[in-house]
Structure 1
Amino acid sequence: MKRFRCEVCGHEVFFDSTSCVRCGTHLGYLWEDDRVASLGLSSRWSRCANAGRAGCTWLVSRDADLCESCALTRTRPADDDLEGLSLFPVAEESKRHLLRDLARLDFPVVGKAADEEGGLAFDLLSSVDADVTIGHADGIVTIDLAEGDDSYREKVRRRLAEPYRTMLGHFRHETGHYFEWHLVESTPRIDEARDLFGDERADYQEAIDRHYADGSPDDWQDRFISEYATMHPYEDFAETWAHYLHIHDTLETAVEFDLISPIDPDMAFDTLVTEVWSPFATSMNVVNRSLGQRDLYPFVLPRRVVEKLVFVDSLRRR
């Protein structure tokens, strides 16, 4: 995340700030400009209609109701679902963060309103009355709002023996499925992807059954970013995509807060991973251990995984 400052007094503010703590100016985020703007400096902007219900901090033009992020939500909890509504803002916050990631990296985001067949939309569903399966199908990303509850998410993480589980991670992972569908499967890049990730035409249900019956290959750490990535080529790509976004966002933040030196924009991505990301991730982990906490980034990036990350990087529009 980049650093933002109040346009009125220059005090530091943040991506989701709604007011400046120094001067009290009302603020909001403009996605198209990637800046936190003052509502008092222009009559062009107003708050998104979801400011109250979803805690949205983005601004819209006066003739619009929903911001670019909220407009992508196809389904939300019912008005009488108080538990679902209480977790709705957590999911929307992660979605806003994701969309900034994608825009900054020049991955196009087109909603279903503009492209009904190939566009992107989100179903943010409450599992109060029925189970919700997190996933992607035909441009629809489904998220279980229960994952916004820290205790629930930690319980699931422990049950599945995962090293890492966050709401933002879910959004990043599931949009990986969407962008593979869009940028890889129907393009000449599919053969290259199959060489790296495997044949995505393999039966998905059989792969799930095999994974949960037999576990991961003994040598999975030499070829995959996580055990979940070993289940099916689709999951390998989505896990790699999520880590690609993790890396870029974290390094942007580290540069903005002077934790590392500015990065040459022309640096090859494999060099970025080995010479910048890996040393920084190690330092983050050691700092966390010094505080008695788990590693912030509990992953190892073998050569094969770096090659997969380089492939994801090559999908960017430049």
Structure 2
Amino acid sequence: MRAFTCGICDSPLYFENSVCVSCGTNLGFSRDRREIVPVDEGGRWIDPDGLVWHVCDNLNLSGCTWLAPLEGGACSACDLTRTRPSDDDLTGLSQFPVAEAAKRHLLVELDTQGLSYVSRDDDPEFGLCFDMLSSVEENVVIGHEDGVITIDLAEGDDAHRVKVRVELAEPYRTMLGHLRHEVGHYMEFLHVRGDRIAAARELFGNEEASYPEAIERHYEQGPPENWEDSYISTYATMHPFEDFAETFAHVLHITDTVDTAASYGLLAIDPSAFSSFRDLVTGVWVPLSTALNQINRSMGALDLYPFVIPPPVLDKLEFVASLRT
């Protein structure tokens, strides 16, 4: 995530800012220009090509700061949400902004990495969309199927999420992590075809293996012995699909954190100087994450990146990173 500044007073901004706290200017995020821009009193911004953009209609509902092409309309990020909590579900609505903020962050990452997708409007059968569901009155299973990513909004509640993380003995669990993992399933479905299938199977295993059997085996027997030698997490051991999705999520974990560190002047070398993702991981990410873990420990917090990357996982990361354009 790059460092943003106000176009009026040059004060630092965060990606989520809708108002500059220094000068009071109303703001909007231009996805096309990847900039936070000032909007007028009517919530409008005119881009260099003369096109008029408007504050997203969901600003007050989900805190969306992105600009929409039509007045009173939704932005390209909000258009991807197929289902949201009902107006009378106050708990779900209170959790909704957390999920939407993470989704917007994810979309910027996909844009940055050149990872293309097709929306549900353009492909009603397999296009990407998000069902942001409230588990207040129903059981919600986080997952992906044919382009539909389902998210349990309760994961936006810190207490709930930490409780689940502890129950499942997970080292890491965030809303953004869920989205990165689930969109990884979609990206495999979309981009791992033709000649790439053979290479993927060599690294991750045969994706045609029974998924229900894999789930049953995983939750009855746990991960295989010495799983740390070949996988990034215990969940990755369950099935080749999950190994790919976990690896995809870690590519985004790494690239986004490295890019943010570079944007804030914390790196002595430009990440783009590395010709391979493997070299970026070993040359930048490992020492950076070690330092960040130590900083977190200095604050009495959990490690920022509580994972170890063995050589076989480096191969998997390199393959997933090669899908980027």
TM-score category by the smaller chain? over 0.9
TM-score normalised by L of structure 1:
0.97
> SS at the partner of 2:19?
coil
TM-score normalised by L of structure 2:
0.95
**1:132–1:264 distance in 2 versus 1, CA, 3 Å:** closer
Letter in 2 for 1:140: V
Would you say 1:214 and 2:217 are equivalent positions? Answer: no
Letter in 2 for 1:51: L
Cα distance in 2 for partners of 1:64, 1:82 equals 23
User: Which residue of structure 1 lines up, in the alignment, with residue 112 of structure 2?
Assistant: 104
Q: How does 1:12-27 map to 2 (within 5 A)?
A: 12-27=12-27
Q: Which structure 1 segments of 5+ residues have no match?
A: none
Q: Is the 8 A contact 1:172 1:241 kept in 2?
A: yes
Moved over 3 A (4+): none
> SS at the partner of 1:297?
coil
Cα distance in 2 for partners of 1:23, 1:85 equals 30
| Displacement of 1:63 | 4.9
Cα distance in 2 for partners of 1:246, 1:162 equals 16
Letter in 2 for 1:5: T
| Displacement of 1:239 | 0.3
Cα distance in 2 for partners of 1:85, 1:26 equals 24
> SS at the partner of 2:61?
coil
| Displacement of 1:62 | 3.6
Cα distance in 2 for partners of 1:244, 1:226 equals 14
Q: Is the 8 A contact 2:102 2:179 kept in 1?
A: yes
Q: Is the 8 A contact 1:125 1:144 kept in 2?
A: yes
Letter in 2 for 1:6: C
Would you say 1:251 and 2:258 are equivalent positions? Answer: yes
Q: How does 1:63-142 map to 2 (within 5 A)?
A: 63=71, 65-142=73-150
User: Which residue of structure 1 lines up, in the alignment, with residue 6 of structure 2?
Assistant: 6
Letter in 1 for 2:61: R
> SS at the partner of 2:320?
helix
> SS at the partner of 1:196?
helix
Q: Which structure 2 segments of 5+ residues have no match?
A: 47-51
Q: Is the 8 A contact 2:262 2:271 kept in 1?
A: no
Q: How does 1:273-292 map to 2 (within 5 A)?
A: 273-292=281-300
| Displacement of 1:110 | 2.1
Cα distance in 1 for partners of 2:71, 2:114 equals 26
Cα distance in 2 for partners of 1:244, 1:264 equals 14
The RMSD of aligned alpha carbons is 1.2
Q: Is the 8 A contact 1:47 1:60 kept in 2?
A: yes
Letter in 2 for 1:117: E
| Displacement of 1:149 | 0.4
**1:179–1:214 distance in 2 versus 1, CA, 3 Å:** same
Letter in 1 for 2:5: R
Would you say 1:261 and 2:264 are equivalent positions? Answer: no
Q: Is the 8 A contact 2:45 2:54 kept in 1?
A: no
Cα distance in 2 for partners of 1:199, 1:223 equals 16
**1:212–1:264 distance in 2 versus 1, CA, 3 Å:** closer
Task: Report the more deviating stretch, 32-41 or 91-100.
Answer: 32-41
Q: Is the 8 A contact 2:28 2:66 kept in 1?
A: yes
Cα distance in 2 for partners of 1:284, 1:247 equals 12
Q: Is the 8 A contact 1:103 1:109 kept in 2?
A: no
User: Which residue of structure 2 lines up, in the alignment, with residue 42 of structure 1?
Assistant: 45
User: Which residue of structure 2 lines up, in the alignment, with residue 304 of structure 1?
Assistant: 312
Deviations 1:126-178 (A, max 9, x none): 01111000000000000000000000000000000000000000000000000
Letter in 2 for 1:260: L
> SS at the partner of 1:102?
helix
Letter in 1 for 2:20: C
Letter in 1 for 2:220: A
Cα distance in 1 for partners of 2:87, 2:301 equals 38
Cα distance in 2 for partners of 1:221, 1:64 equals 51
| Displacement of 1:269 | 1.0
User: Which residue of structure 2 lines up, in the alignment, with residue 241 of structure 1?
Assistant: 248
Q: Is the 8 A contact 1:16 1:28 kept in 2?
A: no
User: Which residue of structure 2 lines up, in the alignment, with residue 270 of structure 1?
Assistant: 278
| Displacement of 1:64 | 6.5
> SS at the partner of 1:181?
helix
Q: Is the 8 A contact 1:11 1:22 kept in 2?
A: yes
Letter in 2 for 1:42: W
| Displacement of 1:42 | 3.3
User: How many aligned positions are there?
Assistant: 316
Would you say 1:30 and 2:65 are equivalent positions? Answer: no
